[in-house]
Structure 1
């Protein structure tokens, strides 16, 4: 593996901070409630997606994968797996990573590796890296699948659907973004700001002027969108110059951004409220607000 000098200088100073921000342990899991207890909800949300089979919205969190229906979140298959990485890659087809439910008798490791569902989250099979990887970001870019492993602080890349992997650059990151039309053009947002790779994640260079981004997406090959720490939706062509397109309501602190299409965006905040935009981020509506959420916090 070859890593460019700027990233090597950043990694030593930033990995410890990134471990606090991105690493997850089985302590994040909450066991299924006893009979009669109230449902604990989604847990902190880490992923969002739209199933192209029927347009259903899905959210993945510490307490399972959920279908968002009206204002409710319906847990799929009553499964409490801690779903850290999550992406929809086709009709009824999801990829995920994280940790098994503490109540899962089949669990042999706290790390799920890469798992796949072809029935919209009802059942899952392990594709690779079981017991090894904890991907906190999964990004499909054409034939290339990227994963950011929070255990090694490393970008992994696969060209066979996630069955085998090539381990590439190490860097502190929270989110990855790429597009099928330019799969080697990879972006990473994290505690040190925005990073850019033009060689499929083998080397990265820091991008100036984008230090407050918490999530980034590439809905089109020539366009980036991102959420900053204040919940503003920003757009850029090159990652250096950004313009504000819209704002999440209630001064929400953002945590997740997903682009189902160039105009169809989903976002979540640290209150686990889910927002939807159908005009490229210019306006947003609340599609799920958990019982514990407090507007403006």
Structure 2
């Protein structure tokens, strides 16, 4: 995939990560990225998007981003700064799109943009896709759920799916450093939370991981990932309270921290799974800590 197309998709992804999305809205975001990634003529597709009422405002913004990327004004020394600006640029219009359309309606829009005849479109052709920020690749995601599964089992399956390791494959993704930094301690943090739940964590590692999460909170906000930063702050503050003896070192505290971790990973990896139960728990935990 060319860098211009990848840049725009990453911009949509990170902007969406800072919105509170239902599973339906996540699917619409996936369809939008599908249209961009599979377009045979991106400028023409953007032009067509501007003719569609629900997409017109967002398309104008995307066209501004595209024009900047293909112009001689592109300054690679300022690309991270411009990327954050571009994410802010499309925030309101992306939110408008998500609030004013449905998955069914938007599938028709994407079919039209990609010039796919309705009678040959199969569901899997337009299934939501995920840009894996850590891996720099686009892939379909499947999460098996059945009516027979208990709520706890479903949540556990989601946890494992979100926290699973994704080996990076694209070494030239210039946004990769941020995601790699955020995701690097995830496995050891998950193991650490197991020890904390059993009351076996020692103060030195509490301090160590608290400092990591504090630094990553600042890094996330600098990158424009506000919600990711908030989840890091909740994790950091939670550990501080445990160190101070204001929170117990038990399973409840570990699960609250783990909810924050799951939200962080899901947002960074853009996992196509409903994280609302984890987000609700993490936000309640943050509220208890006095974090607004």
Give 1 or 2: higher helix fraction.
Answer: 2
Give 1 or 2: higher strand fraction.
Answer: 1
Larger Cα-atom Rg = 2
TM-score, with length taken from structure 2: 0.28
